[in-house]
Amino acid sequence: MTTLADILRGIERGVFPAPDLGVTVVPAPSPREAAVVALTGHIVIAADVDPAWVAERVPPGDLSAPTNPPFLSALEEATGRRVNGIDGMLLVPALTDRAGRDAAIAGLTELTDHEHPRVERARRYRDDVRVYVDAYGGLVLTGRGLAGRFECAIEVPEGARGKGHGRRLARAARALVPADAHIWAQVTPGNAASFRTFLAAGYQLVGSEALLVD
């Protein structure tokens, strides 16, 4: 049986579901979450629902329906979860050369305070969370998120914004995962500044997702 992890690993290799205006229903990736993933010409619904239930609510060829409020509200009720947000999915391979990896993480210190609010929030949605801080108070976080993929998030203090620190942190995330891995970032569509930051650090937009959590 195909899983969401299979689909995401395929995307990391550059293999996407066929853009056939279809909908694929796969099991929820973990007891913690469900998701609707929108790709070019294809939708993946990763939730413990019957494909017939989905077909009743999504007209054939209508790729907007699964990410619109009526369907997402029905999915919330069916799964007992809530939509945490709809984000753009950005993806990039890890940095591979040793010198580049060392340069990317220079100046970062791992934060060992697991009671830090940023760490506490991240651990609700990710496993193996690690957080690093730079000299300007910026944070870069990595962890295993949806379907076990490597994910990152960054945070730049207001007084340090507009100076390239965010781009540096986004690039650093590429050196904080294994060299043979890929790393994902989720950015809300309205956050144009964050999109520009990740794109400048080499990430590419591959789709969008609605994450449903407890």
Mean of pLDDT values over 33-38: 97
Q: What does the pLDDT read at residue 178? A: 97
User: In the chain, how long is the greatest CA-to-CA distance?
Assistant: 54
- The pTM is what? 0.93
Q: What does the pLDDT read at residue 136? A: 86
Residues 82 and 76 sit within 8 Å (Cβ to Cβ): yes
Q: CA 41, CA 31: separation in Å to the nearest integer? A: 28
Q: What does the pLDDT read at residue 55? A: 97
In this model, does residue 211 exceed pLDDT 90?
yes
Q: What does the pLDDT read at residue 160? A: 67
Q: CA 166, CA 183: separation in Å to the nearest integer? A: 16
Residue pLDDT, tens place only, 41-92? 999 999 999 999 999 999 999 999 999 999 999 999 999 999 998 999 999 9
Q: CA 84, CA 200: separation in Å to the nearest integer? A: 26
191 vs 49, 158, 160, CA distance in Å? Answer: 32, 15, 17
Q: What does the pLDDT read at residue 128? A: 92
pLDDT interval class at 122 (50, 70, 90): confident
Domains within the chain, CATH numbers bracketed: 4-88 (no CATH), 89-205 (3.40.630.30)
Q: What does the pLDDT read at residue 123? A: 78
In this model, does residue 26 exceed pLDDT 80?
yes
Q: CA 78, CA 159: separation in Å to the nearest integer? A: 44
